[in-house]
A and B are shown apart, each in its own frame.
Chain A
Amino acid sequence: MNKIQQTIFSAWMLGGLLALGTTQSLQAAALVQVEVFPPEVNLETLRDRQSLIVQATYADGVTKDVTEQAKFVPENPALVKLQDSTLYPAQDGKTTIRVQFEGNTVEVPVSVKKAKQDRPISFRLDVMPVFTKSGCNMGSCHGAARGKDGFRLSLFGFDPEGDHFRLTREINGRRINLALPEESLLMEKAIGSVPHTGGKLFGKESELYTEIVRWLSMGAPNDSGEVAELVGLELYPLEAVMQGRGTTQDLTVRATYSDGTNRDVTHLSYFMTNNENSVAVDQAGIMQAGERGEAFVTARFMTMTIGIPIIVLPENAELEFPNLPQNNYIDELVDQKLKKLRIAPSELADDETFLRRVSIDLVGQLPTVEEYRAFIDNPAPNKRRQLIDELIERPEFVDIWVMKWSELLTVRSVRNRVSYKAMLLYNNWLKDQISNNVPVSEMVIELLSAEGSIFDNPPVNFYHVERDRLKIAENVAQVFMGMRLQCAQCHNHPFDRWTMDDYYSFAAFFSQIGRKNGEDPRETIYYNRRSGGQRHPVTNEVMKPRYLGGDLAEFENGEDYRANLAHWLASPENPYFAKNISNIAWAHFFGRGIIDEVDDVRVTNPPSNGPLLETLGEKFAESNYDFKQLVRDICNSRTYQLSTQANATNSTDETNFSKAKIRRIRAEVLLDCLDQVTKSPSKFRGLPLGARAVEIADGSTSTYFLQTFGRASRETVCSCEVKMEPNLSQALHLLNGSTVSSNIVRGKVVSDALKEKQDPKQILETIYLRALCRKPSVDEVAAFNQMLAEKGANHQQILEDIFWAVLNSREFIFNH
């Protein structure tokens, strides 16, 4: 691939450009694209309007808001009025606006309908958004469960009917004054002309004010008949790379409704940033760049929130992006983002490091001395690919992913509820699926549609380990879509798109699960009751099952709701499934998800690299959910094989995968590695001596070591159950505890070798190769030889102490 020419604005150049407002392009990167947002405009009814944004993208990836510099030329000026960059309807018809900037022209189709007609005011469409925009219905204000200072609005407007009642009739004559709308308490509080705990929210000149007054003067009507529902929200531009402190970029927000209309709702949207240090945004929708960094800027309108990623670069950010090989699509997409950030990835990790890393990650074991030699001496240029293929086919690869899935599915015995037998059968079923590399979609469909006895059909245990059907719905969303829906059980999710309607329509899929006892007292049978429904606690309506973020489900006669859901869930129709599984796999190999935490997918927690996650999901779906292929793609990428050592540009990068992350080895694998190198197997409940900790089927089985190093107890589906932070107890245990000291003695690695008359130097090298996958360094050899050469030195003790030290070393405890 050709090196991309990085040309840079120097600080004074940029200043000069801004000051002159001209188009000097000497030294500046070339303009490569001009875009206008929204790409087409529909104006309908008298009060409609649409603001346009013009964004220029330069060859170095930097974008600029050039709306003010651009020229807008309507083809037919009679149809639209143009004020600055906002279009207003004048006359019905279709036309085009030509937007011109530095020799580029973009055509924006415009359609105007009912230009002379006024749209009647709507409580839901015009009034409710004002409460969200001004923050009236936030949880800390009137949106609290009991309201505030005697007045309550539903949180983020989840109950318009109730809000209308409380405004107009709860205390007759108090809150609104239809004769003199401007003297309504509602209006006086809002503009702060009477004392208001929330202070002044807007002024009399504001559009928010005039809209409510207009509603009041029309008699504060409630909506009658069908009201168009909000079905989509667009936020423009789609992304931005802002260069230089103080640079600004306008935003525009457009809502689309179920009747096919759309509206510019910029003035009714609530804007937020997740990193004010880098990007500040005001309530007019203008972003301003600050410190170098990344931010995610969101707009909330009614029940929906949408966000865009923004990168901020300092004025003098320059980088010759190195010309690097790209092993596959992962590297292309990672590098694409890194280029925008002016970050160069680290070097490739050396063969020894790679061998140790990939062995721990893929099979949870350290390479043996023989494996080490075979790999290092292998002259094949594609030996890393060969190794990955070999490791993926080993049975230990299956154990790792059975363990991961057992965490997601909370496989554990629970006294008096989930018997050991049921748990074991469940675990064995998982093992079967994964060792046969059953497409993940098929596995999930079988799991979620399962019915019958928990003994005869083990995947039924999914409904046995958790029986509360709301909780089941929440778990399904969290495990298979990465979403935490819990908030929407009681009110619209405040920082995601999910409403209570969404929640209960999704929970409805699990409303017909029947349960009866089997013959064995430990046995339970689950079946389709073919009746029953899920009521919405506010409206008391029985909810029709609706796919989360999708359509109403259509059932064939007698079809099990769950089976129907399962087929949607594990299909490309569901935009979250493939991405979520890919992200879970990614996080295993990188120590961090592209969305992190992997089960906290929400609008306000965006992926650090959106295109990368999209593509991983697409490829995974295209491969028919072939999990091994996904893992192969990840491990073969150069990105996975990078060194942990930072360079001058990526030392502070933690989120863009520009270097490998040093990760403490997770509890089970660390214990297995300790047992492996000391040849001293552990015994776990229910497993034969020599079985490994990753094979423990039951979440309720644990040991002090596993607990201290953060094994998941599998009580919840949360990814946060596995803990990776180091702590003092871990240090004490490795220093003094039985796991290291006794293992060394018990396993006799040193004493046996001495009995075989091996040279101490050779034993030293073996210890290093077994545990650290490298030979001891010159300094280390020198230091230890001196100890061994001392008069009367006890070779066994010294070598065992070296072994002890190696197992206590950071290099051993961490994967790097």
Chain B
Amino acid sequence: MKRSGCSGFQQLAASRRDFLQVGAIGGLGLTLGNFFQMRQAQADIKDYKSVEGTAKSVISIYLPGGMAHQETFDPKPIAPIEYRGPLKAIKTNVEGVYFGEYLQKTAQIADKLTVIRSMTHGEAAHERGTHNMFTGYRPSPALKYPSMGSIVAHEFGPRKDLPPYVCIPNQPNEFAGTGYLSSSYGPFSLGSDPASKGFTVRDLSLPGGINEDRFARRRSILDTVNSHFRSREEADALDAMDSFYQRAYSMISSKDAREAFDIDKEDKKTREQYGMNQAGQRLLMARRLVESGVRFVNLTYGGWDMHQRIESGMKRWVPDLDRAFAALIQDLSQRGMLDETLVVISSEFGRTPKINPQAGRDHWPKVFSVVMAGGGIKGGMVYGSSDPTAAEPEENAVTVEDWASTVYDRLGIVADKELMAPGDRPIEIIDGGKPIKDIMV
């Protein structure tokens, strides 16, 4: 998708930790050089051990471009036509809650969802909005923040020989990466679309002619060669490469791990239920992965930057997503996995209240909607609301920090925990958000 907007827009005054707080750490009279300062800071940072919470895994469905809330989860059927937009609102299985008309199947599982209709932030450029939603921070020129997936990988590590953080089909943008954390917490990308013909994840099996014994010998020789270099050189990229090799070894040697990526192992009926299309197969792949042990799946789908002709845009992208999403929630629920799998639909921002002259809507971060389900989130709930023209939050405005803290809370990660960024700077996972208790089970 083509991106327009201000890639160079960078705010300098990041809303960062209070200077005095850092000052207080070093203010104990210890000025004996970096080493002691670091020790001191490490001892004083807010540290909590992350213990698995109600949500054991996350499926994050990200809709790049900025999904219009008016046409999806926050319709305004009685607003004047220029605000209401071209689509109708339909009833859901929750009394008094309406969705956009293409969300037919999702409307029938609304009782399993929480819709937050009062998300708000101030970044109207794609890159900056995306940064907010992937990291929980406003962009800063001084520091690159890690994505939620990388934080989860950092806090919990791999499970059942699978990478903790997987992107379907590819890492969608630079903010989905590791930020100031080591690149070893980066995502594993499938590399191709599960809906494409002959889809496989490459290089999971040993090459022809190499049996396990010979592979073991190769590994031991490789250790010898690497140890020479390791004794001389140090760099984050080297450590990261090391840890990827370790992860690769475990994946190669585990049949279950390899099969997690084999979508052909699903029966035809299930595949069709999700839909034999991008949305369907990506969501189904996500379920397979969390079922097998992946902790955080990020998947992207569609192009939602509908500056022109929003009606046809919605018609193109929503029905498949609707079908796949409803199938996913039902499938997880039938398998007894919904309670421990947090499913999220989000986007970098919503879209302008008024339909523009090109029959589209432009960027609008002041209010938009995010959907959450499972993993200890209540069902049948609408949290917060936008005003009658879907222009500003009316009730219970939810900031990016609040929302991100909620996700972390469900996962068992205290969002106030500080991680060490370069230059011995302790940085909170999320700076100042409040988990939304009202939507938690």
A374 to B13, CA, bound (A): 55
| Chain A min CB distance to B340 (Å) | 25
| Closest CB in chain A relative to B258 CB, distance in Å | 11
Q: How far is the CB of A279 from chain B (nearest CB, A)?
A: 9
Min C-beta distance of A780 to chain B, whole Å: 6
**B252 interfacial contact with A, CB 8 Å:** yes
Interface core residue of A487, A644, A737 (most chain B CB under 10 Å)? A487
Tell me whether A60 is interfacial, beta carbon within 8 Å.
Answer: no
Determine if B124 and A145 form an interchain contact, defined as CB atoms under 8 angstroms apart: yes
From known contacts A600-B8, A729-B191, A736-B204, infer whether A276 and B19 are also in contact, taking CB-CB under 8 Å. yes
- Asked if B228 contacts A487 (CB within 8 A), the reply is no
Scan A677-714; emit 1 where CB is below 8 A from any B CB, else 0.
Answer: 00000000000000000000000000010011000000
* Separation of A293 and B205 alpha carbons in the complex (Å): 48
The interface stretch among B234-242, B265-273, B306-314, B329-337 is B234-242
Of the stretches B50-58, B92-100, B217-225, B369-377, the one at the interface is: B217-225
B198 interface residue, CB < 8 Å from A?
no
Instruction: Please tell me if A485 contacts chain B, counting CB pairs below 8 Å.
Output: yes
- From A61-69, A82-90, A220-228, A800-808, give the one contacting chain B: A800-808
Partner of B13, one of A272, A484, A780: A272
Known A483-B8, A493-B8, A704-B202: A742·B207 in contact at CB below 8 Å: yes
1/0 contact trace for A714-751 toward B, CB 8 Å?
A: 00001010001111111111011110011000000000
- CB of B229 within 8 A of CB of A809, answer yes
A176-B373 Cα distance, complex, nearest whole Å: 49
Q: Give the residues in chain B near A801, CB-CB below 8 Å.
A: 214, 217-218, 221
Decide: B174 and A645 in contact? CB cutoff 8 A.
no
Q: Measured between C-beta atoms, what is the minimum distance from B4 to chain A in Å?
A: 7
CB-based contact A484/B7 at 8 Å: yes
> Contact at B203–A809, with CB atoms within 8 Å?
no
A486-B19 contact given A810-B226, A811-B225, CB 8 Å threshold: no
Partner of B9, one of A277, A493, A816: A493
Name B225's contact: one of A273, A298, A602, A780 (CB within 8 Å).
Answer: A780
Given contacts A802-B221, A809-B226, A816-B233, contact A725 B183 (CB under 8 A): yes
A662 touches B26 (CB 8 A): no
Encode B239-269 as 1/0 by CB contact (under 8 A) with A: 0111011011001100000000000000000
Is A22 located at the chain interface by the 8 A CB criterion? no
Query: For residue A808, which residue of chain B has the nearest CB?
Result: B222
Q: Which of A544-591 contact B (CB under 8 A)?
A: none
Q: Decide yes or no whether B108 CB sits under 8 A from chain A.
A: no
Within 8 A of B (CB), among A103-159: 139-140, 144-146
**Chain A residues, CB < 8 A from B366:** 144
Are A277 and B244 touching (Cβ within 8 A)?
no
Q: Is A494 an interface residue (CB 8 A)?
A: yes
Q: Is the CB of B244 within 8 A of A485?
A: no
Note all chain B residues with C-beta closer than 8 A to A483: 8
A797–B217 alpha-carbon span in the complex (Å): 10
Select from chain B the residue with minimum beta-carbon distance to A600: B8
The residues of B that contact A652 with a CB separation of less than 8 Å are 34, 422-423
Bitwise interface map of A from 735 to 779 toward B, beta carbon under 8 Å scored 1, else 0: 111100110000000000000000000000000000000000101
What is the bound-complex CA distance between A810 and B251, given in angstroms? Answer: 20
Cα-based distance from A463 to B98 in the complex (angstroms) = 49
A residues less than 8 Å from B251 (CB atoms):
732
A298 touches B12 (CB 8 A): yes
- Collect the chain A residues with CB atoms within 8 Å of residue B17's CB: 276
Instruction: Name which residue of chain B comes closest to A314, CB basis.
Output: B31
Contact between B222 and A725, CB atoms less than 8 A apart: no
Whether a CB of chain B sits under 8 angstroms from the CB of A229 is: no
- Asked whether A239 is an interface residue with its Cβ less than 8 Å from the other chain, the reply is no
* Residue among A272, A275, A730 with the highest chain B CB neighbour number at 10 A: A275
Residues of B within 8 A of A741 (CB): 207, 210
Least Cβ–Cβ distance between A97 and chain B, in angstroms = 34
A592 to chain B, nearest CB (A): 13
Cβ–Cβ contact B221 & A814, under 8 A: no
Contact B221 A736 (CB under 8 A): no
**Interface flag for A11 (CB, 8 Å):** yes
User: A291-B22, A731-B245 given as contacts; is B8 within 8 A of A487 (CB)?
Assistant: yes
Contacts of B174 in A (CB 8 A): 720
- Contact (A730, B10) CB under 8 Å given A652-B422, A805-B221: no
- Kindly identify which residue among A604, A661, A735 contacts B203, using a CB–CB cutoff of 8 Å: A735
Query: A727, B10: Cβ atoms under 8 Å?
Result: no
Name the distance in Å between B24's Cβ and chain A's nearest Cβ: 11
Which of A245, A280, A494, A810 is B230 in contact with, Cβ under 8 Å? A810
Q: Which residues of A come within 8 Å of B, CB atoms?
A: 11, 139-140, 144-146, 245, 272-277, 280, 290-293, 298, 314-316, 483-490, 493-496, 600, 602, 604-605, 644-646, 652, 654, 661-664, 704, 707-708, 718, 720, 724-733, 735-738, 741-742, 777, 779-780, 783-784, 787, 797-798, 801-802, 804-806, 808-811, 813-814, 816
Among all A-B residue pairs, the 7 with the closest Cβ atoms: A484-B8, A487-B6, A805-B221, A732-B203, A731-B244, A805-B222, A811-B229
- Mind listing 23 A-B residue pairs with CB under 8 Å? A245-B27, A277-B22, A316-B32, A484-B8, A487-B9, A494-B11, A495-B9, A495-B12, A604-B10, A652-B423, A704-B191, A726-B183, A726-B241, A727-B186, A727-B187, A728-B188, A736-B252, A741-B207, A742-B207, A780-B225, A801-B221, A805-B218, A811-B225
Which residues of B are interface residues toward A (Cβ below 8 A)?
Answer: 4-13, 16-17, 19, 22-23, 26-27, 31-34, 37, 122, 124-125, 141-142, 163, 174, 177-178, 183, 186-189, 191, 202-207, 210, 214, 217-218, 221-222, 224-226, 228-230, 232-235, 237-238, 240-242, 244-245, 247-248, 251-252, 366, 391, 422-423, 425
Seed contacts A486-B9, A735-B203; 18 additional CB < 8 Å A-B pairs: A277-B425, A484-B7, A486-B7, A486-B8, A487-B8, A494-B11, A600-B8, A726-B241, A728-B244, A729-B202, A730-B244, A731-B248, A735-B248, A738-B207, A741-B210, A780-B228, A802-B221, A813-B241
